[in-house]
Structure 1
Amino acid sequence: MSEEDVARFCLALPGAQEDYKWGGVRVFSVAGSKMFALQNLRGESLAFKVDKELFLGHVDRPGIGPAPYLARAQWIIMQTPYPLGADELQGLLQRSHQLVVSKLPRRVQVGLFL
């Protein structure tokens, strides 16, 4: 997947928004401020949240590592070209979105899917 393919996929998820922060980071979030993916504007990297139980398995894979400052919250980072196939990457991004949405209040969750 290209960087733009990733961005289009993230923005197609329910309630997803994009913002630009920290002088060069494209932030994909839900409910205004709950991040589920980060993309370097120069297209060099992609970071997102993974399941706690799967975190160590992901960071052991070639081309994937713990995300700086966010690893304690089970975020991984990968450089381009992404070391995962399109289907696997889309599945992980969708799961990241689900993990973040699941922490939101129920009324906000319901609003995202209307």
Structure 2
Amino acid sequence: MSLFERNGFDKSLSEWPGVTFVDQWDSHVAKVGPKVFAVLGERDNWRLVLKCSEESFEILTALDGIAQAPYFARRKWISISDHSPLEADDLQHYLRRSYELVAAGLTRKLRAELGIDLRP
């Protein structure tokens, strides 16, 4: 199952603590607590939008099929097309990293309520 398909996206991400899904912005959105960490654009040219580190942002946006995400004005949000050179394991890694980056911004109390433990 592909992460660029709703079923694969949901199946993979729903295993993580505190993840919910909503349909908004003509897309399928994954949130950790109240915060967005990934967006699946469901159109002719499928896209995953996610947050990444500064270093990853510079490296990834240099690749074909990956760009700074439109409508996410803050840097470090990227848009990955379904024809990017990233393999499924790499996509899974960057989605997990996005989840961790966004979850780290939640309060300790909310992370505890959601069962999120970010310790290595």
Q: Which TM-score tier does this pair reach, normalised by the shorter chain?
A: 0.7 to 0.9
Displacement after TM superposition at 1:38 (Å)? 0.4
Runs of 5+ consecutive residues of structure 1 not aligned to the other structure: none
Distance 1:14 1:82 in 2: 28
1:8–1:81 distance in 2 versus 1, CA, 3 Å: farther
Give the root-mean-square deviation of aligned CA atoms. Answer: 1.8
1:26–1:112 distance in 2 versus 1, CA, 3 Å: same
Query: What is the aligned partner in structure 2 of residue 35 from structure 1?
Result: 36
Q: 1:53-101 deviations in whole A, cap 9, x for unaligned?
A: 3211110011111101225241110122453111111111011000000
TM-score by length of 2: 0.83
Question: For structure 1, which segment, 1-10 or 33-42, has the greater mean C-alpha deviation from structure 2 after superposition?
Answer: 1-10
Q: Which amino acid aligns with 2:42?
A: L
Distance 2:112 2:80 in 1: 32
- Whether the aligned pair in 1 keeps the contact of 2:48 and 2:79 (CA below 8 Å) is yes
Distance 1:71 1:11 in 2: 27
Runs of 5+ consecutive residues of structure 2 not aligned to the other structure: none
Displacement after TM superposition at 1:6 (Å)? 2.5
Question: Percent identical across equivalent pairs?
Answer: 35
Structure 1: which 4+ aligned runs deviate by more than 3 Å?
none
TM-score by length of 1: 0.87
